[in-house]
A and B are shown apart, each in its own frame.
Chain A
Amino acid sequence: MAVTNYILVCGGTGCESAKADAIYQNLIHASQTEGVSETVQIVKTGCFGFCEQGPIVKILPEDSFYVQVKPEDAEEIIKEHVVKGREVKRLLYNKDNSKKHAKVEDIQFYQKQFRIVLRNCGFINPEDINEYIAREGYAALEKVLFEMTPDDIISELKVSGLKGRGGAGFPTWLKWKFTKDIDDPVKYVVCNADEGDPGAYMDRSTLEGDPHSVLEAMTIAGYTTGANKGYIYIRAEYPLAINRLKLAMEQAREYGLLGENILDSGFSFDVDIRLGAGAFVCGEETALLTSLEGNRGMPKPRPPFPAVKGLWDQPTVINNVETWANIPVIILRGGEWFAKIGTEDSKGTKVFALTGKIRNSGLVEVPMGTTLREIIFDIGGGIANDKEFKAVQTGGPSGGVITKEYLDTPIDYFHLQELGSMMGSGGMIVMDEDDCIVDVTKFYLGFTVDESCGKCSPCRVGGRTLYNILDRITKGKGEMDDIDKMRSVGHAMTKASLCGLGQTAPNPILSTLRYFEKEYHAHIKDKKCPSGKCKELISYYILADKCIGCAACARKCPVAAITGERRKIHRIDQDLCVKCGICYETCKFDAIYVG
C-alpha cells in the first residue's frame, strides 16, 4: 500500500522535553490500532523553530500545522485526520481565530524567513541518512571530490562572501586558504559546537535537526585544506545532538561518505566527537583547542592563529556549526547565488534564537539585512502580554542592547557593531518595560566573572571590579563617579585582556551606558529602580482606593508584614517586608503598588 500521509513530529530538545516522544509513540500505536500504519509514515524531525507553540506536529500533503499537541491528542489525529481526512481544527495554529486553516505559509512566523542553514530542520528524519541524501545531501561532497580543486572551492567561498557565524565574522575562505597553503602532512578540521551564549540554541537545533550537513561540510574542508581528521567539540549538555551526530557518523561511514577512501576518490577523512564540560571560555577558539587536547581550557594569545598553529600545534580550520551548515549549499548553488542574499557587508542568512519577553519565542532564519522590527514584531509577534518594548540584546555576554529608535536598522555585522552591539552567535533577547537594564547588565557581568578563566588580570580583576560596582548600584549604594569608573575600567579591559572573553566582557556595560545612562542615574541619585526589579530600591504599598480588605495578600505574606481588619484597608509594615513580591502577585485588584 502506498503511503498517503506523512506525519512529522518535532523532535528538537524543546518539544522533546514537552513530551514529543510520547506523542510520536502514541501516533504509531494509534496508526496500528486504526489499521493505517501502512499508509502513514510517522517521522521524528528536527526543530521547526516555532518553539513557543510546541510540541508541533505537521501533516503532509495537507500541510496541516498542529500546535501545542499533547500525547492524548495522537489518537484523534490518526482517527480524524488520517482515517477520515478531516483536520483536527482545535489543534491548528490560528493566532486570532481569523483563519480556519493555518498552513505553514499562512503563519506569519514563517513568512519572512529564508532557510539555508535550517533547510532540513523539520523536514527530514535526522536519524536517517537516506532522507538527507534525498534532499541533495552529500551531492556537494561528490561535486568537490570529482569536479573541483581545492582552489576552486576556496574561490567559490570567496565569491559567496560567507563570514564565520560563531561571532567574530571572519571570512571563511581566508581561514581555509591559510591552512591550505601550509605544507604540512598533519592538519585538522574542527567544529565549534560549544554554543556558550546563555539563551541561544541555534547550533543545538541545527545539529539535532540536520547532523549530516555539518559532517559533509567538514569533509569538504578536509579535502580543501588537506586534513584527514576532524573533531566536533560539543557541549556535554546537548545529549540529543551528540547521539544524533554519532548515529550520523556511523551511517556516513557505512555509505562510504566518511572514513577511508571516500566514494573511491582516494581521499580519506574521519571525524571524532569531544565533549565540552561547561566552560564558556572554551567557545573561544584557542581555549577550545586547549580543551580538546584534554587540558584546562585556557586561551592563548593570537597570533599564531589556529589556521597556522592550532590543535597539537598543527594547522587547524575551526568553524562554527552554522558556518559549516552553509557550506554544502554554497558548493551546490554557487557562491554567486549566495552572495545575492543579504547586504553589501554580510551575505546569506543568519539564524537567531528569539527569546525573552517575546510573544513567539523560537528559532528564526532570515536574510542578512532584515530589520530588527521585522524579526521582533512580524516574525516574533511583538512583546508578550502587551507590554512595552524596551530593548533587544544581541551578542550575548559579549554584546549589547539596541533600543526602539534603532529597530529599523538592517541586521548585519557592520550595523550591529555601529550600534555598539554585535552579531554574536545569534542570541536575541527581547526585554520589556519590567526589565531593569542595570540588573540585566549585572547578570551578564556575573556570567563573565564566573566564566573568566583567571589567566590574565585585566579580565580577572577588571571583571570583578565592574561586577561589584553594578552590584552596589542595584543596592542603592552607587555613587555618580561609578559611571566614569566603569567606563575607564571597561576600556582598559577591552584593550588589555588576553582573549575575546575579557575584551568583550565590558560591552554590556558600555552599551547600556550609551542608551540608558538615565536609568543608572535613577538608581544612583534617586535610589529608585524604575522597572521595580532591584529589591533594595523598591517598596510595596497598598493603595487605599483599590484595597477591598480581602486579606488574600496578608494570608500569603511569608513574614506576616501585612495587617488589617477584614473588609478594611490593609497596610504593609515596611520594616518587616522582605520585598518578595508575593502580595503583588496575589492581589486581584491591582491594589499593591511598587515604587
Chain B
Amino acid sequence: MAEQKDTIAFSDELKAYINEWKHKEGNLIMILHKVQQEFKYVPREAADIVAQMTDVPLAKIYGVLTFYHYFKLKKPGKFNIQVCLGTACYLKGADGLIEELENVLGIAEHEVTEDGLFSIEPVRCVGCCGLAPVLVIDDEVYGKVTKDQLPGIIAKYQ
C-alpha cells in the first residue's frame, strides 16, 4: 500500500449521502456537489470513488465535471477570492480589481499562491449587484470594493 498517502477518504456523511442518492434519478450532479462541498474541489481519487459507488462510468463523471463551471478539478487556495464579473460588477470596474489582485498576489486567475493561501476565481453574478463591484472570500461578501481596499482585505487572511 505504498500509495496510501495519496488516497482520500470520504466522510461517513458523504458516503451516506451517496448511498441515499444513488438510486434517485438525475443524481450525479447532486452527488458531485456534495463531494466538492467536502473537499472544496473534486480530486481525481474522489471521482474514482464516486464511479465505484454509483456504477457511473468515470468518463461520464468527467464529462459532467468539465461541462459545469461550478466544479473545480484543481485545489483552490485556502482562501479562494471570488471576484464577480457579472455585468453590474464589470461596469463598476471589477476587471480592474482582478488586475490589482493579480499584482498584489503575484498570481493569475485560477492560480494559487505558493503558500497555498490564496487563489483568484472570476465568477458570474453573485446576486448582490446593488453592491457592485463585489468580491467573496469564504462566503463573506465585500461590496463596493475599491482597488485601495484590496491589500487590507487580503491582510485580514494572512
Question: Which residue numbers of A lie inside 8 Å of B, CB to CB?
Answer: 13-14, 17-18, 51-52, 54, 195-201, 204, 236-238, 274-280, 291-297, 312, 353, 355-357, 361-362, 393, 396, 427, 429, 431, 435, 440, 443-444, 447, 453, 558, 580-581
The A-contacting residues of B in range 92-134, CB under 8 angstroms, are 92, 96, 99, 103, 123-132
- Contact of B87 with A429 in the complex, beta carbons under 8 Å: yes
**Which partner residue on chain B sits nearest A356 by CB separation?**
B91
Give chain A residues whose Cβ lies under 8 Å from the Cβ of B128.
13-14, 17, 51, 201
Given contacts A17-B141, A237-B127, A277-B71, contact A198 B86 (CB under 8 A): yes
Given contacts A277-B70, A296-B64, A431-B91, contact A237 B126 (CB under 8 A): yes
A279→B69 CA distance, assembly (Å): 6
Give chain A residues whose Cβ lies under 8 Å from the Cβ of B141.
13, 17-18
A15→B126 CA distance, assembly (Å): 13
**Which partner residue on chain A sits nearest B132 by CB separation?**
A355
- Cβ-based interface call for B27 (8 A): yes
- Contact of B129 with A296 in the complex, beta carbons under 8 Å: no
- Which of B10-18, B28-36, B73-81, B150-158 faces chain A? B28-36
Question: Which residue numbers of B lie inside 8 Å of A, CB to CB?
Answer: 25-30, 32-33, 63-64, 67-71, 85-92, 96, 99, 103, 123-132, 140-141, 143
Determine how close the nearest CB of chain B comes to the CB of A53; give it in whole angstroms: 9
- Contact of A355 with B88 in the complex, beta carbons under 8 Å: yes
- Contact of A17 with B70 in the complex, beta carbons under 8 Å: no
- Contact of B124 with A297 in the complex, beta carbons under 8 Å: no
Q: Which of A13, A293, A295 contacts B127 (CB 8 A)?
A: A13
- Contact of B130 with A355 in the complex, beta carbons under 8 Å: yes
Closest 3 CB pairs of A and B: A51-B130, A17-B141, A277-B68
- Contact of B25 with A356 in the complex, beta carbons under 8 Å: no
Give chain A residues whose Cβ lies under 8 Å from the Cβ of B88.
198-199, 355-356, 361, 429
Give chain A residues whose Cβ lies under 8 Å from the Cβ of B125.
197-201
A-B residue pairs in contact (CB < 8 Å), sample of 19: A14-B131, A17-B141, A18-B131, A51-B128, A196-B124, A197-B125, A198-B85, A198-B88, A198-B124, A236-B33, A237-B126, A275-B33, A278-B70, A295-B63, A296-B67, A357-B91, A362-B130, A429-B88, A444-B87
**Which partner residue on chain A sits nearest B144 by CB separation?**
A18
Give chain B residues whose Cβ lies under 8 Å from the Cβ of A199.
86-89, 125, 129
Q: Which of B25, B64, B130 contacts A361 (CB 8 A)?
A: B130
**Which partner residue on chain A sits nearest B95 by CB separation?**
A443
Determine how close the nearest CB of chain A comes to the CB of B46; give it in whole angstroms: 16
- Contact of A440 with B126 in the complex, beta carbons under 8 Å: no
- Contact of A295 with B130 in the complex, beta carbons under 8 Å: no
A435→B95 CA distance, assembly (Å): 13
A357→B140 CA distance, assembly (Å): 24
Give chain B residues whose Cβ lies under 8 Å from the Cβ of A196.
124
Give chain B residues whose Cβ lies under 8 Å from the Cβ of A237.
70, 123, 126-127
- Contact of A18 with B143 in the complex, beta carbons under 8 Å: yes
Given contacts A201-B127, A427-B87, contact A274 B30 (CB under 8 A): yes
Give chain B residues whose Cβ lies under 8 Å from the Cβ of A204.
127
A198→B32 CA distance, assembly (Å): 24
A291→B33 CA distance, assembly (Å): 14
